[in-house]
Amino acid sequence: MRKHSLMLLAAAIGLAASQASAADLPRKAPVYTPPPPPPITWTGCYIGANVGGIFSSGDATFDGVEVSRSNSGFAGGGQIGCDYQWAGGWVIGFRNMFDGTSLHRSRSFSFDSEGTNFGTADFHVRWFDTLTGRLGYSWAPGWLLYGQGGVAWVKTSTDITLNGFDFGDVGNKTRTGWTAGGGIEWMFTRGWSAFLEGNYMDLGNNDHTLFDTGVCSAGCTFNTHAKAATVLVGVNYRWGWGGY
């Protein structure tokens, strides 16, 4: 009996000693789990660059003779704007885009049935500037589908030569019209996005009158109507309003 009690006492002392030793061992620190990144949002402002093509069509009517033309060229420039994303994925914003173009086309024409009176018209589109509002929907993180519309300003010039007389740049002016279009934008990394879009611009009708004693002593009038479409790709650098 005494021997059994001594054995129980020794076991109890051993157990207490092992627990004390375990308590003295250093404990492993918990693994740090970083907080999840904030959700992607389109709220904020941006600045960027774009490049693409511009396709124009229009006509000039001179003394009842219509000279139509269509052409394509290069367009490139930059844009700046701001967006705000509402709950549910809807995005509203505004943007200003300014691009230079290489559009240029020359056409020859005759303005009588005998072909004794002839001329040439040299058309240029120097640049365009658009200020648009846009409405979009972000159906997945980092993706935005949008439409836009607003006002367009286009710098055009028309050089007219009649019967060898050069009237010079008679149509050099900045025209005002409207524009509408849309596109898709992808935020490929936080703060950077790329887009593909198409736009249409209509600049309406413009009347011009030419005077010269040798050709148009009483005044020669002509009317022009210009339209253009663009297909552009671009990249934007974005900074938020505290959203990320």
Give me the domains of the chain, ranges plus CATH numbers: 41-239 (2.40.160.20)
Map tokens 């008679």 to a residue.
170
What is the pLDDT at residue 12? 58
pLDDT digits (tens, 9 = 90+) for 90-148: 999 999 999 999 987 766 666 555 666 677 767 778 899 999 999 999 999 999 999 99
The total number of residues written for the chain in this structure: 244
pLDDT digits (tens, 9 = 90+) for 45-55: 999 999 999 99
CA-to-CA distance for 48 and 176, rounded, in angstroms? 24
Q: How confident is the model at residue 242 (pLDDT cuts 50, 70, 90)?
A: very low
What distance lies between CA 187 and its chain's CA centroid? 14
- Average pLDDT (61-80) is 78
What is the pLDDT at residue 157? 76
Let me know the angle formed at the C-alpha of 93 by 181 and 185, rounded to the nearest 5 degrees: 60
Q: How confident is the model at residue 68 (pLDDT cuts 50, 70, 90)?
A: low
Query: Max alpha carbon distance in the chain (Å)?
Result: 143
pLDDT digits (tens, 9 = 90+) for 186-234: 999 989 999 999 999 998 776 666 655 455 555 566 667 778 999 999 9
CA-to-CA distance for 183 and 178, rounded, in angstroms? 17
Higher pLDDT: 173 or 55? It is 55
CB under 8 Å to 74, separation ≥6 — which residues?
51, 53, 54, 101, 102
What does DSSP say about strands 173-189 and 192-212: parallel, antiparallel, or unpaired? antiparallel
The token duo for 19 is: 């627990």
Q: How confident is the model at residue 9 (pLDDT cuts 50, 70, 90)?
A: low
In the DSSP assignment, the letter for residue 241 is: S
Q: How confident is the model at residue 243 (pLDDT cuts 50, 70, 90)?
A: very low
Is 130:118 a contact under the CB 8 Å cutoff? no
92: helix, coil or strand?
Answer: strand
